[in-house]
Structure 1
């Protein structure tokens, strides 16, 4: 897995509080996404946040501390079909996806990015669906299609490459 932090973008997909009650593991998901956001901030990882139809589904969960990110408001299930999405990614070629739902917006975004030539990693412990089996099917299908599936810690440690990274202790404190 190529984890060059300078080439990475973390995409937080549709973490909207109005959707939370329907999700099977939202509390865990929010904690994992917050860990990724905090680590990406420490490591200066580029971040994009998507919101699916916020007029109906509301804004991104206010409990998440997003920091500096590009926001994309969308109505398509795949963020990659939004006209401004690729511009928001900048020149970064390795896209890390987290958020919800695994089998809809995360899935279609990952598949479209893969088709466009990006390296795509879906962070398995930082995605969820209303039903656990939908998440499992989505991760299986994504893996079979060539999307990398990893954990939040794998992504974070990969961004640093080594315990000699200048922010290693700061990021390690977030994980412990």
Structure 2
């Protein structure tokens, strides 16, 4: 995807929701806000017709996806790998027509988000990491991983930026529904330290 400016489109996009599970709740930096932002993206994907894919890392040990994500009606793909791209998920992506853009959120940034990003980039998929919808146990790991993934060619964005870029125009037929998701600005998830270092 060299030379791409990273303009998001509802056509050919997929929303990837990585491992937002119960056992991570007490340990992940800004967990509640990360899940809240991811939940808004999932709501928007339903409005705009963007297919979502959910994974769970070793759910027998780490528990199910948290209910507040709002993904209870979706199948969750079990995995032990750090990448989301298991054989089952690859099969699902092929069934969706091999999307060319992935909107990625979840945990942990330096592990599953990073490995998923590398695999997607290597397969020619443009990756948009929603910085205020990904996190780690350590803020240091989170911020250095975001910097590393940016170096590799992923686009860093925010929840609100994704929502607005997907509709493009206040005349979009779904704009009013998306606007409802923007009534409250996204909470501060501690990203200002990252941008002061750029």
Using structure 2 for the length normalisation, give the TM-score: 0.85
Deviation at 1:45, TM superposition (A): 1.0
| 1:117 partner SS | coil
Q: Give CA deviations for 1:123-163 in whole Å, capped at 9, x if unaligned.
A: 00000100111110010000000011111111111111211
| 1:158 partner SS | helix
Give the aligned length: 175
Q: 2:76 aligns with which of 61, 71, 76?
A: 71
How far apart in 2 are the matches of 1:149 and 1:17?
26
Aligned-CA RMSD value: 1.2
Q: What residue in structure 2 maps to residue 38 of structure 1?
A: 43
Unaligned runs of 5+ in 1: none
Q: 1:123 touches 1:149 (CA, 8 Å); kept in 2?
A: yes
Using structure 1 for the length normalisation, give the TM-score: 0.95
1:171 aligns with 2:178: yes
Q: 2:106 touches 2:134 (CA, 8 Å); kept in 1?
A: yes
Deviation at 1:69, TM superposition (A): 3.8
| 2:177 partner SS | helix
How far apart in 1 are the matches of 2:76 and 2:172?
29
How far apart in 1 are the matches of 2:68 and 2:164?
25
Q: 1:49 aligns with which of 51, 54, 69?
A: 54
1:154 aligns with 2:161: yes
| 2:67 partner SS | coil
How far apart in 2 are the matches of 1:24 and 1:67?
23
Q: Give CA deviations for 1:34-89 in whole Å, capped at 9, x if unaligned.
A: 11111111111110001001111111002221265443111100112x11112222
Structure with greater helix percent = 1
How far apart in 1 are the matches of 2:74 and 2:45?
11
Q: Which has the larger radius of gyration?
A: 2
Q: What residue in structure 1 maps to residue 110 of structure 2?
A: 103
Deviation at 1:118, TM superposition (A): 0.5
Q: What residue in structure 2 maps to residue 27 of structure 1?
A: 32
Q: What residue in structure 2 maps to residue 14 of structure 1?
A: 19
Q: What residue in structure 2 maps to residue 129 of structure 1?
A: 136
Question: Is 84-93 or 23-32 further displaced after alignment?
Answer: 84-93
Unaligned runs of 5+ in 2: 1-5, 184-198
How far apart in 2 are the matches of 1:115 and 1:69?
27
Q: Give CA deviations for 1:85-142 in whole Å, capped at 9, x if unaligned.
A: 1222222110010000111001110111101110111000000100111110010000
